[in-house]
Amino acid sequence: MKYLNQIEDLSHDITAMIELIGSFGKDPAGGVTRFLYSTEWRQAQQRLKQAMSEAGLETRFDAIGNLFGTLRGSSTASSDTILSGSHIDTVGNGGYYDGLYGVVGAFLAVKYLKERYGTPRRNLEVVSFAEEEGSRFPYAFWGSKNLVGTARTDQVENICDAEGIQFVDAMRESGFDFRDPSEPGRKDLKAFVEIHIEQGSVLETEHKTVGVVTSIVGQRRLSVKLTGQTNHAGTTPMGYRKDTAFAASHMIYEIISDAKASGDPLVATVGKIEVRPNMVNVVPGYAEFSVDIRHTDKILFDAFTNRITQKLHDLAAYHGVDITIERWMDEDPVQMSDQVIAAIETSCKNLGLDYKVMHSGAGHDSQILAPFVPTAMVFVPSRGGISHSPAEYTEPMYLAAGVKVLVETLYNMAYQE
């Protein structure tokens, strides 16, 4: 698509709009906080709606606050919709690009296509999902789960934020409410394409301009709790101890060693450890640590989890401590659509971009849509791999490259036969 090369100010447009919408929730000390149903969140969604309207898109909010901007298709295929977008919410004191880049990118891509080619055959739709991060309330993917109809009222009815504000009250205060459960799910969605910053350092390290995402890792989180015997550090001989710090460190060593031996793309992390009573002269009788495991292949994912679970029980017996393992998060890996992956790869080739086929180690709205709608993602490099931080940054040339891939892909999906 030759005209793309003429859009010299594409990167300028992206940067300007990220700055504009990013001003809602901007922290004077750097970074941005835009929590679901906050004033800043509402202002950002309203400003986006205004921009979409000015560009000639039909705009609407759904019941819970997902924002849509539609460019109607013309032909008999106009009951088919190609959707693109991401989420508008952020983590606390997060970066400008996570989520917002995908919303702004989808909007600018559809705007350019409309200006250049007019009415598409199929509908082109931009979505700014209400929520993805689970930062304000202990519930993630509220936006996309409502789109596909898997969000349930009872899951949020009794949750509140750090200030004790009920989810339901915050939602209604913002002017939104639960969706009518009798309303059927969307049947018109033929594809979903999400562009997003990588939030890792693979693309930067390998000097690639874009990533084509083929799967999103499954995530499992465990809490391991060990009970031994609290005792005097001076009067208890080594042979008499039930030391949970020793048991925990032995277990952690085994988990990480196994993960290293298993190799990519498996990752396992013990990021939180606590011993009690946590005093220099006491043998700790209680220890607790977290395990976060991620993998793209469900069979290998399960095999690793089962293997370390068995090891932890064996080690607990060896150390004479009691063990409980709670699995409080369990999301399966999600494969992206071969057809949408191929469309994105073709776009990269047509644009002469150096791309990498890769998986995502972080969760995204795409994993919620993928079981229902053919879905794939485009990544752009994150400087230093940093995300969820005010230091999050992507070079404007990469931001533009990602949007160009999206323009080309949406053109092929919505304007071609």
**Positions in the binding site for Zn ion (CB under 5 A):** 98-99
Q: Which is nearer to Zn ion, 113 or 368 (CB)?
A: 368
> Least Å distance between CB 284 and Zn ion?
38
Amino acid identity of residue 32, one-letter, is V
DSSP one-letter code for 72: -
Q: Which is nearer to Zn ion, 210 or 308 (CB)?
A: 210
| Cβ atoms 411, 113 nearer than 8 A | yes
> Least Å distance between CB 34 and Zn ion?
12
> Least Å distance between CB 412 and Zn ion?
25
Q: Which is nearer to Zn ion, 133 or 243 (CB)?
A: 133
Q: Which is nearer to Zn ion, 107 or 286 (CB)?
A: 107
Amino acid identity of residue 230, one-letter, is T
DSSP one-letter code for 111: H
Cα–Cα distance measured from residue 212 to residue 351, given in angstroms and rounded to the nearest whole number: 14
Please report the DSSP string for 139-167 in residue order.
---HHHHHHHT---HHHHTT-B-TT--BH
Q: Which is nearer to Zn ion, 102 or 374 (CB)?
A: 102
| Residues 6 or more apart in contact with residue 220 via CB below 8 angstroms | 291, 292, 293, 294, 301, 305, 327, 329, 330, 331
> Least Å distance between CB 105 and Zn ion?
12
Cα–Cα distance measured from residue 65 to residue 21, given in angstroms and rounded to the nearest whole number: 16
> Least Å distance between CB 57 and Zn ion?
23
Q: Which is nearer to Zn ion, 36 or 283 (CB)?
A: 36
CA dist list (Å): 62 to 110, 121, 128, 142, 312: 20, 24, 11, 12, 47
Residue 190: how many other CB atoms lie within 10 Å: 18
Cα–Cα distance measured from residue 306 to residue 309, given in angstroms and rounded to the nearest whole number: 5
Cα–Cα distance measured from residue 403 to residue 351, given in angstroms and rounded to the nearest whole number: 11
In the chain, what is the greatest distance between 2 CA atoms, to the nearest angstrom? 85
Q: Which is nearer to Zn ion, 98 or 408 (CB)?
A: 98
Q: Which is nearer to Zn ion, 333 or 363 (CB)?
A: 363
> Least Å distance between CB 362 and Zn ion?
7
> Least Å distance between CB 228 and Zn ion?
41
Residue 199 φ/ψ region, left for φ over 0, alpha for ψ in the -120 to 50 degree band, beta for the rest: left
> Least Å distance between CB 83 and Zn ion?
16
| Cβ atoms 113, 69 nearer than 8 A | no
Cis (ω within 30 of 0) for the bond into 277? yes
> Least Å distance between CB 196 and Zn ion?
6
Q: Which is nearer to Zn ion, 108 or 255 (CB)?
A: 108
H/E stretch holding 325:
strand 322-331
Cα–Cα distance measured from residue 255 to residue 101, given in angstroms and rounded to the nearest whole number: 36
| Cβ atoms 366, 330 nearer than 8 A | no
Q: Which is nearer to Zn ion, 91 or 351 (CB)?
A: 91
Cα–Cα distance measured from residue 214 to residue 416, given in angstroms and rounded to the nearest whole number: 24
DSSP one-letter code for 32: B
> Least Å distance between CB 350 and Zn ion?
27
